[in-house]
C-alpha cells in the first residue's frame, strides 16, 4: 500500500535573492534522507555556463575515458575490470555513453579512447533588439 504523495520544496541557496526552487515528490520521509539540503539552480550552480546578453558563448570539452567496475561489484583478483568508455570532463568522472544536444549526437562507441568532444554554444543578438516592454 502506498502512502500519500507529498512534495518537498528546496529554495536555491545561491548568492543573492533567487526565486528558483527544486520540487521533489515523495511518499515516505526516509526517501528524503539522501537529498542534500543545499541546492543551487542552474544559474547559480554553473554561472559561467549561464548564457545572458553579456555572456554569449560557452565551450565545454568532454573526453572519452575508461570507466571501471567498482571492486565491490565483482569477486576475484584485485585487477580493475573495464566497464567501457564514456564521455566526461578531462580528468573528471566519465559517466555518459552518449551525449547530445541541438545539432549533435555523439556515442562513445566508435571513437578511440582520448577522443575529445568540444561543444560550443553561441548567442547571436539581433542587430536591433526587439522592444519587449508591455
For residues 121 and 55, the answer to whether their CB atoms sit within 8 Å is no
Choice between 41 and 119, CB closer to Zn ion: 41
18 binds Zn ion (CB under 5 A): yes
Tell me the window of 17-25, 48-56, 64-72, 98-106 that interacts with Zn ion (CB under 5 A): 17-25
DSSP 43: H
Quote the cell numbers at residue 92.
573528471
Which of 48, 49, 42 is closest to 20 using CA atoms? 42
Give min distance, CB of 50 to Zn ion, in A: 10
| 96 touches Zn ion by CB under 5 A | no
Judged by CB under 5 A, the residue of 41, 51, 117, 121 near Zn ion is 41
Contact between 32 and 26 under an 8 Å Cβ cutoff? The reply is: yes
Is 44 near Zn ion (CB under 5 A)? yes
Amino acid at each position: 500500500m502506498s502512502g500519500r504523495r507529498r512534495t518537498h520544496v528546496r529554495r536555491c541557496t545561491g548568492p543573492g535573492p533567487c526565486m528558483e526552487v527544486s520540487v521533489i515528490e515523495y511518499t515516505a520521509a526516509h526517501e528524503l534522507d539522501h537529498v542534500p539540503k543545499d541546492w543551487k539552480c542552474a544559474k547559480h550552480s554553473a554561472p559561467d555556463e549561464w548564457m545572458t546578453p553579456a555572456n554569449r558563448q560557452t565551450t565545454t570539452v568532454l573526453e572519452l575515458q575508461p570507466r571501471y567496475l567498482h571492486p565491490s561489484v565483482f569477486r576475484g583478483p584485485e585487477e580493475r575490470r573495464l566497464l567501457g568508455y564514456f564521455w566526461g570532463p578531462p580528468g573528471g568522472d566519465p559517466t555518459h555513453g552518449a551525449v547530445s544536444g541541438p545539432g549533435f549526437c555523439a556515442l562513445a562507441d566508435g571513437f578511440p579512447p582520448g577522443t575529445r568532444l568540444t561543444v560550443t554554444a553561441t548567442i547571436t543578438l539581433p542587430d536591433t533588439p526587439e522592444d519587449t516592454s508591455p
